[in-house]
Amino acid sequence: MTPRESSIYKNIDWSLVIIVGILMFFGLLNVVSATSNLEILEWFDWGGKGGKQMMWILICSFLGFLILNIESEFFIRTSVLQYLLTLVLLVAVLIVGKKIGGARSWFGFGGMSLQPSEFAKPTTALLLAWYLSRDATKWRSLKVRFLSFLIVAIPAGLILLQPDAGTVLVFAGFVFVLYREGLSGNVLIIGFGALLIAIATILIGATTVHYPFFGTESGIGVFWIVWIAIGIGVVFLAKDLTVPRKRKKITRWGIASIVAGLMVSIGLHLGMETVLKSHQRDRIHVLFGIDVNNPDADYNIRHAKASIGSGGFSGKGWMHGPMTAYSFVPEQETDFIFCTVGEEWGFAGSVCVILLFTFLILRVIVIAERQRSNFTRIYAYGVASIFFMHLLVNVGMVLGLAPVIGIPLPFFSYGGSSLIGFTFLIAVLIRLDGERFRVLR
């Protein structure tokens, strides 16, 4: 065991620090470009968004430095407190929060805004790690599973009330943490299966078929009938082809899957038809390549793709993208910042960013697996899951592969709250990892 007084800097994972540094710097360049009209000097204006982002980066650097010098024990012991504090903030924001873009997600102080959900992500990861790493905790008990679920679900539920669907999706990413800690792999398979059924429902639901007696209606009815017919056929066939002792189990699971699948499909279809407003339904249809009559429905995505597509291999160069400069893409400096990368840095720059994130996430997984401390491992998985979900949803959205759900790209998107949240997230991990030789928890 390393002596306590030896410097933390000898053991910290510099690769993470460097990746984060590169992402922040590259992000800053893109924020500057996205918020100025091709006038390079404008970002020296500290009142501009480029200047503010620079200020936040300096603050975050200081914050990171501070965290690296705090004993990790502090974060472990205060995890419950931090979590509760975040819950208070999440409740408070629902009451006194400022409504921006239809969601009550922000506290406003003068010219500044604070988004508490950005802090809920690291504190939830901390509490989950704390809870699951206690000596007495055994994953197999129902109580543990339920409480783990609750730890994630409470902040997620509060955030859904804002409503901020993007961040809720990020919380769904904690399923990877639970999976690593023993949650059945079937959960992932079932989730994937449900996703396939949902996609089929949306695609088929938008078609029309002429039914006898009912007239022209959505083709989904045919899908449901075929689903039941094929399902029953497959179950009977499988029953006859397998050994007798497994028959009962297969029949039970088979029927359960058919019913569950049918419920998902019916529920989703009715939900789309009745709960969603037509413009929301259009957005989903656009995502799946279904023609909609409303030209505005895919406006954001069309412009986002045009912006990225116009970058070609090497891009138009920093501060030289007209779509970036002249506000063709909405929220260019926050949720759609990847469009600037695509337009100005081209395929080369975009792939670099994706590879940097991929490397960051894989590196965090590697770090997780080298821990003797369960707390650090679980927390690291939380970190990896959060980054992964942000990458998945944000880049998926601008590339037209995922629905338009506002969510920042870590270290890239303009905004103090998300920058502080992500810095906190990664800095605590680096500190925890730096102590891996010291402690055995």
Partner 1 sequence: MNNTGLKNRSLVFGGIVVIIALVFIARLGHIQLISSDWSNYAGRLTEEREALEPMRGKFLDRNGALIVSNIASYDLLITPRKAKNLDTIALGKVLGLEYEVLKKRLDKAAAYSRYVPSIIVKQLNAREFAMISKQLMDFPGIKSKTRSVRSNVAGVAGHLLGEYREVDRADIRGDVYYQLGDYKGKSGLESSYEQSLRGIPGARYHIVDVRNNVQETLLELDTMPISGQDVTLTIDVELQTYAEKLLRGKRGSVVAIEPETGEILAIVSSPFYDGNSLTGTRRGSVYDSLNTHPWKPLYNRALRGTYRPGSIFKMVQGIIALDEGVISSNTTIACNRSIIGCHGPHTADNLTDAITHSCNPYFYEVMRRVVLKGRDPNPLKDASLGLTNWNERVKAFGFGTNLGGHIPWIRSGSIPNSLVYDKIYGKNHWGYKTIFSISIGEGELLTTPLQMANLAAIIGNRGYYREPHPVRDIGGLGKPAGIDATHNLDILPKHFETVVNAMQKVIEDPNGTGNLAQIDGITICGKTGTVQNKGKEDHSVFIAFAPRDNPKIALSVYVEYAGSGGAWAAPIAGLLVEKYLTDTVSNTLREERILTFQP
Spacing of C-alpha 413 from chain mean position: 14
CA distance 200 to 15: 42
Please pick, from the candidates 60, 384, 419, 429, the single residue that binds partner 1 as defined by CB under 8 A.
384
Cα–Cα separations (whole angstroms), residue 188 to 184, 192, 227, 230, 313:
8, 6, 22, 24, 36
**Residue at token pair 């949720």:** 335
The one segment of 8-16, 85-93, 261-269, 394-402 that binds partner 1 by CB under 8 A: 394-402
Side chain identity, residue 268:
L
Is the dihedral angle over the CA atoms 52, 58, 60, 63 positive or is it negative?
negative
How many chain residues bind partner 1 (CB under 8 A)?
54
- List of residues 6+ apart from 356 with CB closer than 8 A: 19, 22, 23
Site string for partner 1, 124-153 (x = CB under 8 A): ---------------x--------------
Backbone angles phi, psi at 100, to 5 degrees: -125, 125
The one segment of 52-60, 153-161, 234-242, 390-398 that binds partner 1 by CB under 8 A: 390-398
Please pick, from the candidates 88, 309, 437, 440, the single residue that binds partner 1 as defined by CB under 8 A.
309
The continuous run of DSSP H or E covering 17 comes out as helix 14-35
Shortest gap between Cβ of 305 and partner 1 (angstroms)? 5
Closest-CA residue to 409 (of 428, 400, 396):
396
Site string for partner 1, 183-222 (x = CB under 8 A): --x--x----------------------------------
**Residue at token pair 């499909």:** 265
Site string for partner 1, 17-56 (x = CB under 8 A): --------------------xx------------------
Closest-CA residue to 384 (of 433, 323, 325):
433
Residue closer to partner 1 by CB (options 116, 333) is 333
Backbone angles phi, psi at 54, to 5 degrees: -60, -45
The one segment of 153-161, 283-291, 377-385, 410-418 that binds partner 1 by CB under 8 A: 377-385
Contact 171, 155 (CB under 8 A): yes
350-369 residues near partner 1, rule: CB under 8 A: 350-351, 354-355, 357-358, 361-362, 365, 368-369
Shortest gap between Cβ of 395 and partner 1 (angstroms)? 6
CA distance 399 to 202: 20
Please pick, from the candidates 118, 164, 181, 282, the single residue that binds partner 1 as defined by CB under 8 A.
181
Closest-CA residue to 120 (of 149, 96, 84):
84
Shortest gap between Cβ of 400 and partner 1 (angstroms)? 8
Shortest gap between Cβ of 38 and partner 1 (angstroms)? 7
Please pick, from the candidates 230, 312, 317, 440, the single residue that binds partner 1 as defined by CB under 8 A.
312
| DSSP assignments along 65-92, one per residue | HHHHTS-HHHHHHTHHHHHHHHHHHHHH
Please pick, from the candidates 123, 300, 307, 376, the single residue that binds partner 1 as defined by CB under 8 A.
307
Backbone angles phi, psi at 103, to 5 degrees: -125, 135
Please pick, from the candidates 40, 246, 322, 440, the single residue that binds partner 1 as defined by CB under 8 A.
322
Residue 371: CB atoms within 10 Å: 20
Residue 301 is a binding residue for partner 1 (CB under 8 A): no
396-425 residues near partner 1, rule: CB under 8 A: 396, 399-401
251-290 residues near partner 1, rule: CB under 8 A: none
Residue 180 is a binding residue for partner 1 (CB under 8 A): yes
Cα–Cα separations (whole angstroms), residue 202 to 74, 336, 430:
48, 25, 43
63-102 residues near partner 1, rule: CB under 8 A: none
Residue closer to partner 1 by CB (options 208, 327) is 327
The one segment of 57-65, 95-103, 260-268, 307-315 that binds partner 1 by CB under 8 A: 307-315
CA distance 407 to 65: 26
Q: Compute and round to an integer the Cα radius of gyration of the chain.
A: 24
Please pick, from the candidates 342, 406, 410, 415, the single residue that binds partner 1 as defined by CB under 8 A.
342
Residue 327 is a binding residue for partner 1 (CB under 8 A): yes
For residue 213, what are its two tokens?
């007696």
The one segment of 67-75, 224-232, 392-400, 424-432 that binds partner 1 by CB under 8 A: 392-400
- Residue count (the chain): 441
Which parts of this chain interact with partner 1 (CB under 8 A)?
37-38, 139, 176, 179-182, 185, 188, 302-303, 305-313, 322-323, 325-328, 342-343, 346-347, 350-351, 354-355, 357-358, 361-362, 365, 368-369, 374, 377, 381, 384, 388, 391-392, 395-396, 399-401
